[in-house]
Chain A
Amino acid sequence: MSRPRRERRSVVAVEAIGAYVLVRVTRGSLDPGIPGQFFMLEAPGRVLPRPMSLCLAPRGELAFLLDPIGPGTRALAALEPNDRLHVFGPLGNGFRLDVERPLLVGGGIGIAPLPYLAEALEQPPAVLGFRSEHHAEAAALLPGADVVIDPVLVTDAMPGGRDVLACGPEPMLEAVRAIAPDAQLAWEAPMACGYGACYGCVVEIDGELKRLCVEGPVLCSS
């Protein structure tokens, strides 16, 4: 597995995609890692960096999709080309790619790791769910995906007999797990450090509280 590094990178572009924002930075010597792994992005003016899974890895760049809903993500969305920020990663455990019939399932900002994952799996079928038409514009990042909009749920549109790789809000992941017990699920938790130092991101795994940044963020549900 590639070793995480922390580097000060430059912003290439910040692009609105529907309700979301794609922050593109120069790659430097950072390794893009395995799909589902994440990076800690310095949020200008904030005390703590923000964990973001890699969305795309264009040549010489790393790109992160974020939902500007809090002070950290808004500070990141307000970055301008040539602004500099520290980027630390890749961190955590990504998706296992040795699956026979992959199906990607994403909900809302949880689609973030799926474009890079789709590339690694040679564009498998995908089902994406969003809360509005505006949010659903981000489906452009995954050409060919089936898109559902609230109140229709991704679980209503998921074909059976597939190896599911999913990322989205917790209720969606629970619902996916109920119909696809072997699914690989990428979870989310507030994190201060991303490298096992703060013990802030614990979630219950096998009946114990474990650090999501070390054990996850991708967990096998069964």
Chain B
Amino acid sequence: MTTPQEENFMRKISAEEKIEPKDWMPDAYRKNLIRQISQHAHSEVIGMQPEGNWLTRAPSLRRKAILLSKIQDEAGHGLYLYSACETLGISRSEMIEQLQSGAAKYSSIFNYPTLTWADVGAIGWLVDGAAIVNQVSLQRTSYGPYSRGMIRICKEESFHQRQGYEAMLALAKGSEGQKAMAQDALNRFYWPALMMFGPHDSESAHSQKSMEWKIKRETNDDLRQKFVDQTVKQIEVLGLEHPDKNIKWNEERGHYDSSDLNWDEFWSVINGNGHCNRQRVEHHVAAHDEGEWVRDAITAYNEKKRAKNAQHAA
């Protein structure tokens, strides 16, 4: 039995109208959105760590300024997404608690370590590249605040991928050693970047409902295929070897065929056993705790100001 509210909600969804914060929505739609948007926000924030690892060791002032700007953007993107999520009735502190307790997830790509400077280039190019494929699709998500956040983020994100590719290009056209470093970074980040799109559609717990409600607009496998296709040419221009020996153009499908992923690794990292899972969360907890005096100072300053104003008014 569908209620008039549910009917009205589904009418908006099928008419491609956005759902806005004060509209009635099914509980499961709200929960699903909170899970996805908060996971997305956490990824932006945790994603600052692997790149931050190279800030003090960037090879030039120019690269350092660029990297700093990119990391600053990620913090901003986290903020847009947390704010969008808060319109669904969850508080910022609840979300942070869920991240720190492990109840909420973030993209498992950030549990891989950044071993060399080339990894920073590979992340911008491949990881942000994969994120863009996903986010371009999410600009058409059915929830208004999420959609608007995605539009803003996509506008800012193009620079992230281009700076990464430019850094990779510099290494790939550099000395033998630099080229080998670029190849190694590509080999290590290519597969986890493909895993960012999530499990196969048939294995994805949330996919079907999310597609029905138009929270997600394209399936994990379709988005992954887009990324595989666009990356072939980019690897070729770098003059590097494709990490997937089975990559082959399929005329009939109009897409590249590729190897299946190591799903054992995927599930193992998601379930907490990647190289850096513990370190990432511990670092977040420490940064949050160490920042407490700043939050306290803001509150103390506000109280002082209020008292002063009250005195003036009296």
- The finding on whether chains A and B are genuine partners in a shared complex, rather than unrelated, reads no
